[in-house]
Amino acid sequence: MPKIKVQRMENIRTMPNVFEWSDYNSKNPFPKGTWNSEIFRNPNPIVLELACGKGEYSIGLGKLYPEKNFIGFDIKGNRMWVGAQRALQEGMDNVRFFRAYIDHLDQFFTNKEIDEIWIIFPDPQLKKNRKKLTSQKFLELYRPLLKKGAKINLKTDSDELYYFTHEIIQEHNLILHQEIPDIYEERSSNPDLSIQTYYEQMHLKRGRTIHFISFSFD
Ligand SMILES: C[S@@+](CC[C@H](N)C(=O)[O-])C[C@H]1O[C@@H](n2cnc3c(N)ncnc32)[C@H](O)[C@@H]1O
């Protein structure tokens, strides 16, 4: 592994705004249900950015909505370091990062603790539907953790993931809030969609179309 990656992985362990978890069978579980009372120390809504990479969405939304709390979630510590470092430098109290597998999200959040989820350019997992972050398996993981009406927002360049998610919404009678086949053609005035991540910039340079879809369980 390149030296800089190793350094960043070690460095995030010392950062006050980063949590890291790897022992999913630990006898000392994560203190679920304390995000508002102990970690953010405010009653504000909690928004997750899944597959956060360098955390551009947690930082960008954190600035747009200082009255909300944001947690960037990913397994890659060297990417997360970039966002965590920036949040510290900019003194952002409403942003945290969590390095762990999303598959274990229910070990870190209690029922109805989360107000919204953003899934930003996740790996499309073309060959394995179960691994897609909007598959039935993952939706059942998120469902109990979400407050009533909590939205799940997906931004992707993958046609397959976009249409797959659309089908899941229809199959399971979920509530579709918005779908934009091409956010740049639409010229959406939604500032949330104008935040560009590392992967989005890469896809745009390659002429890819960026899709957006937003839905909820109830
Ligand atoms: C294509 S990158 C996108 C990163 C970022 N959102 C962006 O747009 O630049 C996908 C990210 O998802 C993360 N990821 C994929 N599956 C994951 C899982 N099950 N748990 C945690 N992170 C995961 C990867 O580590 C990677 O950083």
Tens digit of pLDDT at every position of the chain (218 positions): 889 999 999 999 999 999 999 999 999 999 999 999 999 999 999 999 999 999 999 999 999 999 999 999 999 999 999 999 999 999 999 999 999 999 999 999 999 999 999 999 999 999 999 999 999 999 999 999 999 999 999 999 999 999 999 999 999 999 999 999 999 997 667 999 999 999 999 999 999 999 999 999 99
Q: What are the residues whose beta carbons fall under 8 Å from the beta carbon of 99, sequence distance 6 or more?
A: 12, 18, 19, 20, 21, 74, 75, 76, 77, 80
Query: Per the domain annotation, does 209 fall within a domain?
Result: yes
CATH of the domain at 13: 3.40.50.150
For a substitution probing ligand 1, which of 74, 137, 157 has the most ligand atoms within 8 Å of its CB? 74
C-alpha 51 – ligand 1 centre gap (Å): 3
Query: Per the domain annotation, does 29 fall within a domain?
Result: no
Query: Per the domain annotation, does 101 fall within a domain?
Result: yes
User: What pLDDT was estimated at residue 1?
Assistant: 82
Query: Per the domain annotation, does 206 fall within a domain?
Result: yes
Two tokens, residue 5: 């990656």
C-alpha 54 – ligand 1 centre gap (Å): 9
Query: Per the domain annotation, does 158 fall within a domain?
Result: yes
Residue 76 alpha carbon, nearest atom of ligand 1: 25
d(CA 3, CA 31) in angstroms, rounded, equals 33
Instruction: Check residue 192 and report its DSSP letter.
Output: G
**121 CB near ligand 1 (under 6 Å):** yes
Query: Per the domain annotation, does 107 fall within a domain?
Result: yes
d(CA 60, CA 69) in angstroms, rounded, equals 12
**51 CB near ligand 1 (under 6 Å):** yes
What is the total count of domains within the chain?
1
Which 3 state secondary structure label does DSSP give 130? helix
> 56 is in which domain, residue-wise?
3-21+34-216
Question: CB of 147 within 8 A of CB of 112?
Answer: yes
C-alpha 105 – ligand 1 centre gap (Å): 14
What is the set of active-site residues?
Answer: 123
Query: Per the domain annotation, does 127 fall within a domain?
Result: yes
Query: Per the domain annotation, does 27 fall within a domain?
Result: no
**Type of residue found at 93:** D
User: What pLDDT was estimated at residue 187?
Assistant: 67
